[in-house]
Structure 1
Amino acid sequence: MNTDEKEKGMAGITELSTKRIDAKFRILSKKNACALICYLVAGYPNIRMSEVLVDVLVKAGADIIEIGIPFSDPIADGPTIQGAYNDALKNKVNPTKCLALVARLRKKYPDLPIILMTYSNIVIREGGVKRFVQRSKESGVDGFILPDMNIDEAHLYIKVASEAGLATVFLASPNTKKIRLKSIISKSSGFLYLITVFGVTGAQKSFQNLTAHSIRRVKRLSGSKIPVVVGFGISKPEHVRYMINAGADGVIIASAILDIIKSNLKSPTLGLKIKSFVEGMKTACQSKNL
């Protein structure tokens, strides 16, 4: 089978993307709104609080929840997420506990899209792609973000995940070449994750014109095939509006939420502060209607 035939095969497979994620983007599209995806590290500050904080995020307006499985060498993540991972690992949090957390959340929120963010080493260590995907599906997971998964070596991963009805979310950067970007689009399902800045995760003060240019470029190539979601550094409502004006279909908020948790670990108002922050970001996601 040549490269073109493989690409066509992959495109057919990835059309089987998970129903909950697709349904959420359809609903938001009808409202002309942007998806708000909120990220937490499972087990930070502890497993019990992770579940409580997801409740807060959902009530505050999060459309999709992204759960990070702690890993000792998170190459795509900056100091904030690395620190949360380290604390979670000290708490003896492992993939089994993370999937149990997802299972509890799924019972409470049958229609909520839940995505796992982790690294390939975790997948391999947990019994390989087939076993990990099956366990994830049984727990109620809707898809995966694996930042270190090379699309050129992802055939088995895409096949297994897609046959299980789970999304394979791949990342693209601002300088991804056109031919490779087309390949990423064809192999992604659920949504495509566009990195807003060069480097690792972490809250940003502002964004350069390159970010808006990248969003418009990816949207032109992806068309209506798949939603384009942007992440890395988004921490203010004006950042959200900036991404929406450039054409983004969704935004991922990660380090900014973890920063609030870290600054308020012993505060009884932690939940209220996260709720207020997320509500502000959710309001900004409605700005397509303005």
Structure 2
Amino acid sequence: MKLICYLSNGYPTIESSINIAKEYVEAGCDIIEVDFPSSNPFLEGEYIAGRMKTALENCSDYSCYMEGIKTIKNNHPNTKFIVLSYENTIESIGVERFIEFCTQNGLYDMIYVGGDNQEIKSKLIENGIKISCYVQFHMPEEEIQAALSSNGFVYMQAKPTTNNINPKYPTLKDCIDELKRRGITREIYAGVGIYTTEDIQMAKEAGADGVFVGSTILKLQTDIPKMKETIEKFKKACNE
């Protein structure tokens, strides 16, 4: 099972993000989820939103973020990357320019936040970019249908956060089994609520292809040895 670590691009600087990516890979991270900080990160919690705000205060030029991601990608050619971007950020960069950046650098897996502008999403897909779909733990039918029609991986909520449990699918394994039964053959990555090795083992036993780990790792970036030790433990749990 793959370990996916979240990288706050530009926090506190783009150069520091390049260095943190190196530490991630050395510690065993399989996939790096790297973001473009958004000026309106409405889906993020206070912690991630705060990091995005600080990043943009330090550098508001998206060209610099693109160069940073390009450098990280070139430094780690054997590491897979998932790009996270808000729709408003893509609009700021320019749709054609954003597509050109992704395709020229082999960045085809994406978490796209927004969705009001279907033209942007359609253009991304037409150019081979794979858009993930998020499915909440209570398995709403419209989200299952969206996942079935998507071309990207499924981002499956790993744990219920507001007691949102469908009695038909009370466990993560039940949810993943149902998605596969319904025809999902693409990767199913579990995230939201993955904090410990026990959480990772639970996701693996449920049949997830990978796990997203975010704030648990981000909060250790002031203690690099501890951060790398934690990533190593998480990767070991993925393999056990």
Range of TM-score over shorter length: 0.7 to 0.9
Offset from partner CA, 1:195-229 (integer Å, 9 cap, x none): 234669xxxxxxxx544433333233244x21100
What residue number does 1:231 align with?
191
TM-score between the two structures when normalised by the length of structure 1: 0.73
Within the candidate set 138, 141, 145, 1:182 is matched to 145
Q: Is the 8 A contact 1:42 1:93 kept in 2?
A: no
Tell me, in whole angstroms, the C-alpha distance in 2 between the residues paired with 1:90 and 1:198: 34
Contact 1:219 1:228 in 2 (8 A): no
- Which residue of structure 2 lines up, in the alignment, with residue 204 of structure 1? none
Q: 1:199 to 1:95 in 2, by over 3 A?
A: farther
**Aligned-partner Cα distance in 2 for 1:74–1:198:** 22
Q: Distance in 1 between the 2:28 and 2:179 partners?
A: 27
Match of 1:79 in 2: 46
Instruction: State the shift of 1:120 in Å.
Output: 0.6
Given residue 134 of structure 2, which amino acid in structure 1 is its aligned partner? L
Q: Distance in 2 between matches of 1:222 and 1:154?
A: 24
| 1:214 equivalenced with 2:175 (yes/no) | yes
Normalised by the size of structure 2, how large is the TM-score? 0.87
- The letter of the residue matching 1:186 is S
Q: What's the RMSD between the two structures over aligned residues?
A: 2.4
Alignment of 1:128-139 (within 5 A): 128=95, 130-139=96-105
The count of aligned residue pairs is: 234
Alignment of 1:88 with 2:61, yes or no, is: no
Tell me whether 1:244 sits opposite 2:204 in the alignment: yes
Show CA shifts across 1:16-54 (max 9, x none).
Answer: xxxxxxxxxxxxxxxxxx111111111112111101110
Provide the secondary structure at the position in 1 that maps to 2:182. helix
CA distance in 2, matches of 1:112, 1:138: 16
Corresponding residue of 2:157:
195
Match of 1:12 in 2: none
Which residue of 2 is the match for residue 267 of structure 1? none
Equivalent pair of 1:57/1:278 in contact (CA under 8 Å)? yes
Give 5+ residue unaligned stretches, structure 1: 1-33, 201-208, 265-269
Which SS does the other structure have where 2:219 is aligned? Answer: helix
| Aligned counterparts of 1:52 and 1:93: Cα–Cα separation in 2 | 20
Question: Does the CA contact (< 8 Å) of 1:182 and 1:221 recur in 2?
Answer: no
In the alignment, structure 2 segments of 5+ residues that lack a partner are 163-169
Pick the structure with more strand per residue: 2
Higher helix proportion, which one? 1
Q: Which residue of 2 aligns with 1:278?
A: 231
**Partners of 1:112 and 1:101 in 2: how far apart?**
15
The Cα shift of 1:146 comes to 1.2
Identity over the aligned pairs, expressed in percent?
27
Code of the residue aligned with 2:226 in structure 1: it is K
C-alpha contact 1:196 1:211 (8 A) present in aligned 2: yes
- Please say if residues 185 and 226 of structure 1, whose CA atoms lie closer than 8 Å, have aligned partners that are also in contact: no
Q: In the aligned structure 2, how far is the partner of 1:252 from the partner of 1:210?
A: 18
Secondary structure in structure 1 of the residue aligned to 2:211:
strand
Tell whether the 8 Å contact from 2:8 to 2:34 is kept in structure 1 after alignment.
yes
Find the aligned partners of 2:135 and 2:197 in 1 and give their Cα distance.
23
**Residues 121, 55 of structure 1: alpha-carbon distance in 2 compared, 3 angstrom cutoff:** same
**Cα separation, partners in 2 of 1:242 and 1:94, compared to 1, 3 Å:** farther
